Amino acid sequence: MGLVLDNNSIKLYERWLQSPVGRARDEFVQTMVAVLSSPQRNDKVLDIGCGTGNQLLSLAKLGFDLSGVDASKDMIDIARSRLGNRCELKTGRAEDLPFSDNEFDIALLINTLEFLDDPLTALKEAGRVARRKVLICVINSLSLYNLGDRLQGAFSETLARHIKSYHLWEMKSYIKNAYGEVPVVWMCAPDWPRLKDHHNTLNPGEDRMLICPFGAMLGISVTLNPLIRAASLPLKIKAERPFPERAPMQNQGGVHYERGISL
């Protein structure tokens, strides 16, 4: 199941979200969703691991029909107080989502896999509930930003001490195991400076998204290809008339009937 945030962890999480890096992350996610998913207004979107609803608030501006799920009831309570009736919120695990097959157009895993012990099962579940795309955003294990966070976490209490990060080739392996050979598109956010205000370092324009696998944040779009697709086909063979009954035939055991077969 992985790490379920308690009150102390939630404070660390909220502090990170409100930091310049956290704000830059939000801009990157909005750009990633717009560029990689070809979203349409009123798309049904599920935010898996929605936390306190910070990302849902940002995505609400894009006109989606939003839902969120998180394993932490405390997180969901905070999200509900922020969002009210603007979206459906449920408590549930990413590895066992409380939703029906193909219920959503897009499933989001925004910094969710970092907290899980079994990311492969979570990816499969996201593919089960989504019809069109799964969008994934993870902290890049090959970035200088992540290395700095790890070093800082060795000497102080930071969220980085509790989570796992991923690189592009690792994620591609998980995606192949979860969905088979499917179209994958990715982008990276630039590494953000650590010792000055980061807010203006990430232009949400597509030109700032790196085609380089060493950026601070890695965004991946997976287009789902169902292995089996049901189709409505017209019936081209007319129904036969009922088999005619033949006259009864006598045998030693009594009377029995035979039915003719119309060829």
Q: Write out pLDDT tens, residues 95-154.
A: 999 999 999 999 999 999 998 999 999 999 999 999 999 999 998 888 877 666 654 544
Residue 155 structural domain: 7-223
Residue 2 lies in a domain: no
Residue 84 lies in a domain: yes
pLDDT at 99: 97
Count the domains in the chain. Answer: 1
pLDDT band at 79 (very low <50, low <70, confident <90, very high): very high
pTM: 0.73
Listed in sequence order, the residues at least 6 apart from 123 whose beta carbon sits closer than 8 Å to its beta carbon are 109, 113, 134, 136, 174, 175, 178, 179
**Which SS3 state, helix, strand or coil, does residue 216 take?**
coil
pLDDT at 22: 73
Average pLDDT for 222-249: 60
Listed in sequence order, the residues at least 6 apart from 104 whose beta carbon sits closer than 8 Å to its beta carbon are 44, 45, 46, 67, 129, 130, 131
Three-state secondary structure readout of 121-145: HHHHHHHHHEEEEEEEEEEECCCHH
Strands of the 88-91 sheet, one edge to the other: 88-91, 65-70, 44-48, 104-110, 130-139, 217-223, 184-189
pLDDT at 196: 37
Residue 249 lies in a domain: no
Residue 233 lies in a domain: no
pLDDT at 189: 81
Report the alpha-carbon distance of residue 132 to residue 121 in Å, rounded.
18
Q: Give the domain CATH number at 76.
A: 3.40.50.150
Residue 256 lies in a domain: no
Residue 72 lies in a domain: yes
pLDDT at 123: 98
Residue 209 lies in a domain: yes
Average pLDDT for 21-39: 82
- pLDDT tens digit string along 209-221? 556 788 888 999 9
Task: Name the helix (H) or strand (E) containing 172.
Answer: helix 168-179
Residue 232 lies in a domain: no
Average pLDDT for 28-48: 88
